Chain A
């Protein structure tokens, strides 16, 4: 059974009096543990696709099955729970809460899930160790380098042990060397079994994925290795 199964997905935005098909009759199946790069020029619908996969956006038509379950019909709170437990997000601009320390940022999903503080500290400490951030635990985001910030964001995305990680241009705000480091981190996670979906317009980065989905004008134009 596929982890992700999209069939006939459509997403239409209304801009003024014209309608833009961000996604048109899209079918896509992704298996558990895959490493998929979603590529395409800007405006091709790749970010919209990622938002849909992350349950942040709703399709106008079509069915999205996550782990065999139709998630398009879930209530907002049920979708929030699915996001919390099964999906980890990594953003181009990191999206760390500026007033919280690295450790507190990593603990956010655990706090939202209502996990008790002792267990939280244990898991955050382990994550800090795994991502080499132990001596940065009490630093606020503005005291961290770009690479460290993205590492904090990845630690946060994986702290709930999700089934998949959705990364939207994770290296977009980083220099080449730091970007390389971050991508390797994500690939290591993928190697340990987490499904990795990465939106990028960087061909070199895309080439590293096992599978590339090329988007253009809301259509999937190619899909394969």
Chain B
């Protein structure tokens, strides 16, 4: 029997029992579709988070006050215990590092803003002129904090603040009261959507000195450092650490983290999650495989007379085995294909419902799902096919 004939014979057998074939294909396709949709969801979440981080600004190095890692015994540790605070001067000193492009000091606090009798809670961010570029933010109107006047009583407000307090009227030039101080609005940030941690639409950015005065402090929450390029991130990190150590009397009392490291961690966690979800979905593929076996065993019993006839007509064991294997393979291949299409449709539906989530199934998941479907189909098809090939011809023929 030629391979083409085997295939044709198997497909005739599959189409000869439409209900059985349809149910089988459905079961297999649900398995494959589950893998495709769930991995699309998992990988979509991963991409979403990675994109969110990238929107914080790339090549970013973040300096935090205090030590979160131990670096072995240092004589300075024995003398002082409280870490020195980060100051605006520290931030300025970091600009001198050769690998650093720009820096921005950052203080954060909460306050209330009032305008025209309307009041709302806001997050106050004290920053410098470079903050806009560093964070890759857009201005919708006006301009950002001026570099030449670090003590000006000016504010740049988020898009939500603009719409909540000023409505459709432009906020530019108006005086906004924050706490007990008055600021002139000089810029409105572009809409950024929901970001990680803080929502950039609901912040008010003030010059760092003004924010520090408002919160009665001279320390910083963070210093954001941007390396000149991606390759220089590690160098920028080392140089920042060195400069701050020198400025803090040789004591390494700050923590420097790179955005890359944070990103890689999230990437890893969510990647693992996607694998886990794919694994769970793969269970349904295994179930479908067992179903293939069940269906093929029933087919062998149902067609015992036919198998006897084929033997009487001179079919070798291998020919019968191959015909049943080909049928199992056809069923699982069709199921896999239908499942792939269903899964892609499901992922498309997900993307339509949640446009922010880039729910595309990863290639490896699609390939793995299709391969698993085919392999389980074939694997579970072997036993029934062998049983068919081994049937006793006389007994098989006497069965109708």
- A residues with a Cβ closer than 8 A to B are 51, 54, 56-57, 76-77, 80-85, 87, 89, 91, 93, 95, 97-100, 104, 108-109, 111-114, 156, 160
B residues sitting closer than 8 Å to A (CB atoms) are 1-2, 5, 9, 12-13, 15-16, 305-306, 308-319, 393-394, 397, 400
Q: Is there contact, CB below 8 Å, between B314 and A81? A: yes
A95 touches B1 (CB 8 A): no
A81 to chain B, nearest CB (A): 6
B313 touches A89 (CB 8 A): yes
B315 surroundings in chain A (CB, below 8 A):
80, 84, 112
Question: What are 7 A-B residue pairs whose CB atoms fall within 8 Å in the complex?
Answer: A54-B312, A56-B312, A81-B316, A85-B314, A87-B314, A97-B309, A160-B314
Q: For A111, list chain B residues within 8 Å (CB).
A: 1, 5, 9
| A93 and B9 contacting across the interface, CB-CB below 8 Å | no
CA distance A81 to B311 in the complex (A): 10
Contact of A84 with B313 at beta-carbon distance under 8 Å, contacts A56-B393, A114-B1 already known: yes
Candidates B5, B305, B319, B394; contact of A57 at CB < 8 Å: B394
CA A99 to CA B9, docked complex, whole Å: 10
Compute how far the CA of A109 lies from the CA of B319 in the bound complex, rounded to whole angstroms: 12
Chain A contacts of B309 at CB under 8 A? 95, 97
**Once bound together, how far apart are the Cα atoms of A87 and B313, in whole Å?**
8
Give the distance in Å from the alpha carbon of A155 to the alpha carbon of B33 in the complex: 47
Please report the C-alpha to C-alpha distance between residue A160 and residue B394 in the assembled complex, in whole angstroms: 21
Contact of A112 with B306 in the complex, beta carbons under 8 Å: no
**Chain A residues, Cβ within 8 Å of B318:** 77
The answer to whether A56 touches B310 (Cβ under 8 A) is no
In the complex the two chains form, is A91's CB within 8 Å of B5's CB? no
What 4 A-B pairs are tightest by C-beta distance, nearest first? A84-B314, A99-B16, A83-B314, A56-B393
Closest A residue, CB atoms, query B2: A114
User: A80 — which chain B residues lie within 8 A by C-beta?
Assistant: 311, 314-317
Chain B residue at minimum C-beta to C-beta distance from A48: B394
Q: Complex formed: what's the CA distance from A9 to B126 in Å?
A: 106
Residue of B313, B314, B394 touching A51 (CB-CB under 8 A):
B394
User: Once A and B bind, how many residue pairs between them come within 8 Å at the CB atom?
Assistant: 69
Residue in A97, A100, A104, A113 whose CB lies within 8 Å of B314: A113
Closest to A52 in B: B394
Closest to A50 in B: B394
A100→B12 CA distance, assembly (Å): 8
Inter-chain contacts of A112 with B (CB < 8 A): 1, 310, 313-315, 319
Q: Which residues of chain B are within 8 angstroms of A98 by Cβ–Cβ distance?
A: 16
Q: Beyond A56-B311, A109-B313, A112-B319, is A99–B12 a contact (Cβ under 8 Å)?
A: yes
A156 CA to B315 CA in the complex, in Å?
14
> B313 contacts A56, CB within 8 Å?
no
For the complex, what is the distance from the CA of A83 to the CA of B393, rounded to whole Å?
Answer: 12
Q: Once the chains bind, are A97 and B306 in contact (CB under 8 Å)?
A: yes
Contacts of A77 in B (CB 8 A): 316-318
Q: Judge whether A156 and B5 touch: CB under 8 Å.
A: no
- Cα of A92 to Cα of B295 in the assembled complex, Å: 30
Give Cα distance in the complex from A93 to B399, angstroms: 10
Contact yes or no, B310 A108, CB < 8 A: yes
Assembled-state Cα–Cα distance A99/B305 (Å):
13
Expressed in whole angstroms, the Cα–Cα distance for A51 and B308 within the complex equals 12
- Among A76, A77, A104, A112, max chain B CB count under 10 A is at A112
Given B9, B12, B305, B314, which contacts A109 in the complex, CB threshold below 8 Å? B314
Q: How far is the CA of A91 from the CA of B308 in the complex (A)?
A: 12
Asked if residues B13 and A99 are in contact (CB atoms below 8 Å), the reply is: yes
B312: which A residues are within 8 A, CB to CB? 54, 56, 83, 89, 95
Across the interface, do B314 and A95 meet the contact criterion of CB distance under 8 Å? no
Please report the C-alpha to C-alpha distance between residue A99 and residue B11 in the assembled complex, in whole angstroms.
Answer: 11
CB neighbours of A82 from chain B (8 A): 314
A189 to chain B, nearest CB (A): 17
A4–B13 CA distance with the chains assembled, in angstroms: 37
Nearest neighbor of A166 in chain B, beta-carbon distance: B312
B249 CB to closest chain A CB (Å) equals 90
- Cβ contacts under 8 Å, A100 to chain B: 12
Cβ of B119 to closest chain A Cβ, rounded Å: 79
Residues of B within 8 A of A156 (CB): 313
B145 to chain A, nearest CB (A): 80
Within the complex, what minimum Cβ distance (angstroms) separates B10 from chain A? 12
Known contacts: A111-B1, A111-B5. The answer to whether A93 contacts B313 by CB under 8 A is: no
Residue of B nearest to A77 (CB): B316
Minimum CB distance partner of A84 in chain B: B314
A-B contacts besides A95-B306, A99-B12, 6 pairs, CB < 8 Å: A56-B394, A57-B393, A80-B315, A85-B314, A93-B400, A114-B1
Q: In the complex, which residues of chain A have a beta carbon less than 8 angstroms from the beta carbon of B314?
A: 80-85, 87, 109, 112-113, 160
Nearest B residue to A94 by beta-carbon distance? B309
B306 contact set on A, CB distance < 8 A: 95, 97
A111 to B315, CA, bound (A): 10
Least Cβ–Cβ distance between B313 and chain A, in angstroms: 5
Complex Cα–Cα for A181 and B97 (A): 107
A21 to B312, CA, bound (A): 24
Residue of A57, A80, A160 most packed against chain B (CB within 10 A): A80
Q: Chain B residue with minimal CB distance to A82?
A: B314
Residue in contact with B305 in the complex, picked from A85, A95, A108, A114, CB distance below 8 Å: A95
In the complex, A51→B396 CA distance in Å? 12
A153 to B22, CA, bound (A): 31
Q: Collect the chain B residues with CB atoms within 8 Å of residue A51's CB.
A: 394
Whole-angstrom CA separation of A200 from B317 in the bound complex? 30
**In the complex, what's the smallest C-beta–C-beta distance from A127 to chain B, in angstroms?**
14
Q: How far is the CA of A166 from the CA of B316 in the complex (A)?
A: 20
Contact between A108 and B393 (Cβ–Cβ < 8 Å)?
Answer: no
Complex Cα gap A20–B190 (Å): 96
Given A83-B312, A108-B310, A114-B5, A56-B397 contact (CB < 8 Å): yes
